[in-house]
Amino acid sequence: MNNVVHSVPSDARSCVTGRQSNGTNKGDGLKRRVVITGLGAVTPLGNTVAETWEGICRGKSGAAPITRFDSTAFETKIAAEVKGFDPLRYLNKKELRRLDDFIIYALAAADMAMADADLIIGEERAERTGVIIGSGVGGLTTIEKEKVTLLQGGPRKMSPFTIPAILANLAGGHVSIRFGAKGPINCTVTACAAGTCAIGDAARLIADGYADIMIAGGTEAAVTPMCVAGFNAMRALSRRNDEPQKASRPFDRDRDGFLVSEGSGVVILEALSHALERGAKIQGELVGYGLTGDAFHMAAPPPGHEGAARAMKVALRDAGMDRTEIDYINAHGTSTLLNDACETDAIKTVFGEHATRLAVSSTKSMTGHMFGAAGAVEAIFCLKAISEGVLPPTINLDHPDSECDLDYVPHQARKKEIRTAMSNTFGFGGVNAVLIFRKWEG
């Protein structure tokens, strides 16, 4: 047996789940630190991260009457749509005709994230750069449109680009092609947790040494007749049609459901050593990832949101952090009766007395529910909260539910130094995904 003692690389750190270092030797129990160097987003609050964050800090709502289709016959006639977005800034007209909106949003967000990271892949980095873009429903807009084409015009009228436009993994596929990323490629399809899972899984690939750079996030374009009608049938959507900007009201006693939303969030993750070597601007460190299953119900959380509580505990263990070190939680906070109360219980279970000292807010009060894109966009909000020292508000919290009694940062953003932030996302099928970010201090 070789008795050579190897020095610990500069990006090594101890962790409950294993020693962390440069991870170049698979299976050696050593893991690399992972940092975020680029952010990109398209949301109902703005077509860039800067515009979106400015809207968050102002407590702006992205909700309005639906314009994507005639909603006259629908119980819910409001949504949080992307507004004023010019896809020609990112694609030509020929490309646009072949792509679903969920792919277009992902390409735009990835373009912005790569520019923000000041990163060019090139041949020397291609095989060490990967992509994971999650989506809850994929090309639903194209599915509905081409179904009408099939019924009205017959099979010969179908577009040859139908299948590539609807497959959920094609957002990541197009991002990979666009930037020449030849490393690991995947697609997380874990409903509302897809964006979070994409970022968490991407971080693990870097930590374990399978990639140096990952382009990761989530994307969705689900303001469609089928989606709105389907969630109406489940009694999951708000029907506050006369007050769209008041409709999403997490933790409020008068909440009556969420709003369908759309957009994309993409981040650039890098091994710390790689980011330092190229002099990248480090915007935060991803230190913890928790992923659990409820094994309970296809849509409803178990009593006390036990699976969510376990996911938060797993993320804390992965980060090697004590619960008292968390300063802020970006809650899943959907504005549904069951979710908000159960998530509050789960936070109390995990954090005990510290739960009363935590700031917790739901940015879905402003963005609506972006499904597969939600976790990625909310991860960006956590990173901005840390770097800017601002707690995002929960708007429309006019009458707090007696079962929801934490500090939800009501109505207005609040200045506060934040070193660590947790992002919660929970999806259909009992998926619970949690990320923990820490301020980068060199």
Enzyme catalytic residues: 192, 332, 369
The Cα–Cα gap between 62 and 260 comes to 11
The HSE-up count of residue 136 (CA atoms within 13 Å, CB side) is 29
Listed in order, strand segments (DSSP E) in 187-339 are: 213-221, 262-271, 284-293, 328-330
List strand residue ranges (DSSP E) for 83-193, in order: 129-134, 185-186
Torsion region of 158: left, alpha or beta (phi above 0 gives left; psi -120 to 50 gives alpha): beta
- Six token digits for residue 237: 């959507």
Phi, psi of 39 (to 5 degrees): -130, 140
Please say whether the dihedral angle defined by the alpha carbons of residues 15, 18, 21 and 22, taken in this order, is positive or negative. negative
Q: How far apart are CA 135 and CA 8, in angstroms?
A: 38
Residue 135: phi, psi to the nearest 5?
A: -155, 140
Write out the two tokens for 85.
């977005």
CA distance 336 to 319: 30
Residue in the block written with tokens 């004590």: 322
Backbone Cα Rg of the chain: 21
Task: Give Cβ neighbours of residue 234 (< 8 Å, ≥ 6 apart).
Answer: 299
DSSP-assigned beta bridge partners for residue 35: 270, 285
CB 76 within 8 Å of CB 230: no
CB contact at 8 A, 276 and 396: no
